[in-house]
Structure 1
Amino acid sequence: METTPAPTAKRGRGRPRKDSEFISLSKELLGQKALEIAGTEGYSALTMHRLASELGVTPRALYNYVADRGEVINLAMQQFMSLSPTLDFDAEHWKDGVRDAYLATRAAYRSYPRASLLSMDEKVHAVPGPRRTELVERLLKFYVETGLTLKQATSMTRALERDVLGFVLHVDYFYDRRTSDSDYVLNHPVPKPWLDDYPEIPAPYAREALELPEQNSDELFDEVIELRVLAIERLLERNSETSVAED
C-alpha cells in the first residue's frame, strides 16, 4: 500500500537553522556576539548576516529581538560599557584611585580595541545606556573630592579616555599582535631601521635613545599613569596656592 509521506515541518520564525545546534537567543547574547565582532574586526564587519552566522541562526531570527542593525550596535556598546567595574575611590589615597581607573579602563579597551571607534566607523546614533553616565559621574566626584575644581576634574576625566584609548590603539593593539622581529617599533621613539633609511637626517638624540632599556607594554603604560599623576599633583599644588593667596 502506498502512503503519502508526512510533510516536513517548516522552521518557524526565529528558529535556528537545521545545520546548527539549538541556541536560545536573547538581546544580551546578540550584544555580546556583536561586541566580539566589532571589537576585534571593526564595525564594518558587523552585519546582520555575519551576526546570524556566528549565532547559527537565520538573519530573520534576529528581528525577533532587535528592530535593525542600529539597535544591535547599541547593544554592543552597552555590553562594552558594562566591562568597566564600579570602583570604590578614596580621595585620601587618590594616586591609587587614578591608577585603578586607568588600569580598569585599559583592560576593557584592550579586550575589544576597536569597539571605541564607533564615531569613526559609523554614522548611526549610539546610545551607550546609563552605565557611561554612572562611571563618569563617579570619576568626576572622585576628582573633585581629591581637590580639583570641577573644570579640572572634567579635563582629567576626558584625559583618561584619551590617554587609554590612544595607548591601546597605538601600543597594546600592536604589542598583542607583534612578531619577534617587530618589537623595535614599540620601544624606541624612532626605530633603528627607520633611522638607517635616512642617514642624512641628523638625529643624535633619537640614536642615543636606542641605548635605553627596552620596555614591555605594561611598563610603558605605567609611564602614562605616572605622567598623569604628576599633572594632578601640580594642579592640586596650584589650587592650594590660590586658596592661601585668597585667604
Structure 2
Amino acid sequence: MADNKEISPAPSAKRGRGRPRKDSEFISLSKELLGQKALEIVGSEGYGALTMHRLATEFGVTPRALYNYVSDREEVIGLALQQFLAISPTLEFDCIHWKDGVRDAYLATRSAYRAYPRASQLSMDEKTHVIPGPRRTELVERVLKFYVEMGLTLKQATGMVRALERDVLGFVLHIDYFYDRRQPDCPDFFSHPVPRQWLEFYPEVPAPYAQQALELPEQNSDELFEEVIELRVLAMERLLQLNSQNRDGQD
C-alpha cells in the first residue's frame, strides 16, 4: 500500500472489520507517522505501553487499519527505533581539538536520549529482537574512527564508545528524568551526595563529609552533566599519555 493513504473514520457502534471510524476528520497515515507516534509512546512510557490498539487509538482508527502500513508490532518498534536514531546529528570531528569532539558527542547523545528517555530501554522491556536499521552502525563507526584517529587503541576506543552510552543513558534516566519532571517545591535529591532530608532522618549515622558537602553550591542537571564530560575527558587524556609513553618506549 502507499504510505500516504487516506483513512476515513465509522460510527463506533458497528464498524466493519479493519475500517477506520467515521466520527472524526480524515486522517492521513504513513509509516513515518506511525513510527513517530510509537516513539512518543515508548519514549515517555516504555515499550510495554506500545500496543497496536493504543497506537490505533492515538489516531482514531481501528487496529486493523494500521496493517495497511505495517505488518506487525515488531515493525512498528523498528520504525520507532529508526526515528529515535535519526535524531542524533552526523557530527564532524576534529582530532586536533578532540576535547570539543568528545563534548559534542556527549551533548548530542544526551539530547536524543533526553527527548525520549525510555526509548533506549528496548533490551529491558522487549523479548523480541528488532534490528534498528543502519543508522546506529553509522553513528558508532564515526565515533570509533574519531577515537582511534585521536590516538586511542581500538580496544580503548571500543571501551569509550560503551562508556559514552552508559554515561549518557545512566545520566538521562537517573538525573534528567528527575529534573525535567521536578516540581518547584520538590527537594533536590541529586546535587549533593546525600540529600539533607536523608541525613536528618538518620542522625545516628556519622557522615561528616556528606554533611560538609551540603555547603557546596547546588547544581542543575546541565552542570552535573558537565562533570560527567570532564571526568571522561580526563580519563582519555590519561590513556593518550600512556599510549604516547608506550610508543616512546618502543622506539
Which is helix-richer, 1 or 2?
1
Counterpart residue number, 1:227:
231
Alpha-carbon contact 1:20-1:57 (below 8 Å) kept: no
Indicate whether 1:172 and 2:214 are aligned.
no
SS at match of 1:206: helix
Report the Cα distance in structure 1 between the residues aligned to 2:81 and 2:233, rounded to whole angstroms: 29
Where structure 2 has 5 or more consecutive residues not aligned to the other structure, the ranges are: 1-9
Counterpart residue number, 1:4:
none
Report the Cα distance in structure 2 between the residues aligned to 1:128 and 1:161, rounded to whole angstroms: 16
In structure 1, what residue type is equivalent to 2:128?
V
Alpha-carbon contact 1:47-1:69 (below 8 Å) kept: yes
Alpha-carbon contact 1:113-1:168 (below 8 Å) kept: yes
Report the Cα distance in structure 2 between the residues aligned to 1:19 and 1:207, rounded to whole angstroms: 61
TM-aligned CA distance change 1:12 to 1:94, over 3 Å: farther
Return the match for 2:159 from 155, 169, 175: 155
In structure 1, what residue type is equivalent to 2:215?
E
In structure 2, what residue type is equivalent to 1:201?
V
Indicate whether 1:82 and 2:106 are aligned.
no
Return the match for 1:194 from 184, 195, 198: 198
Equivalence map 1:116-135=2 (5 Å) = 116-135=120-139
Where structure 1 has 5 or more consecutive residues not aligned to the other structure, the ranges are: 1-7
TM-score, normalisation: structure 1:
0.93
Report deviation, 1:126. 1.5
1:185-217: CA deviation from partner (whole Å, max 9, x where unpaired): 121111011111111111100111000000110
- Runs of 4+ in structure 1 displaced over 3 angstroms? 10-16
Alpha-carbon contact 1:16-1:23 (below 8 Å) kept: no
TM-score, normalisation: structure 2:
0.92
- Aligned sequence identity (%): 78
Counterpart residue number, 1:30:
34
SS at match of 1:235: helix
Give the count of matched residue pairs. 240
Report the Cα distance in structure 2 between the residues aligned to 1:178 and 1:54, rounded to whole angstroms: 27
Counterpart residue number, 2:141:
137
In structure 1, what residue type is equivalent to 2:150?
T
Counterpart residue number, 2:106:
102
In structure 1, what residue type is equivalent to 2:83?
Q
In structure 1, what residue type is equivalent to 2:32?
E
Alpha-carbon contact 1:41-1:114 (below 8 Å) kept: yes
1:83-135: CA deviation from partner (whole Å, max 9, x where unpaired): 11000111111000000000000000000000011111110112110000000
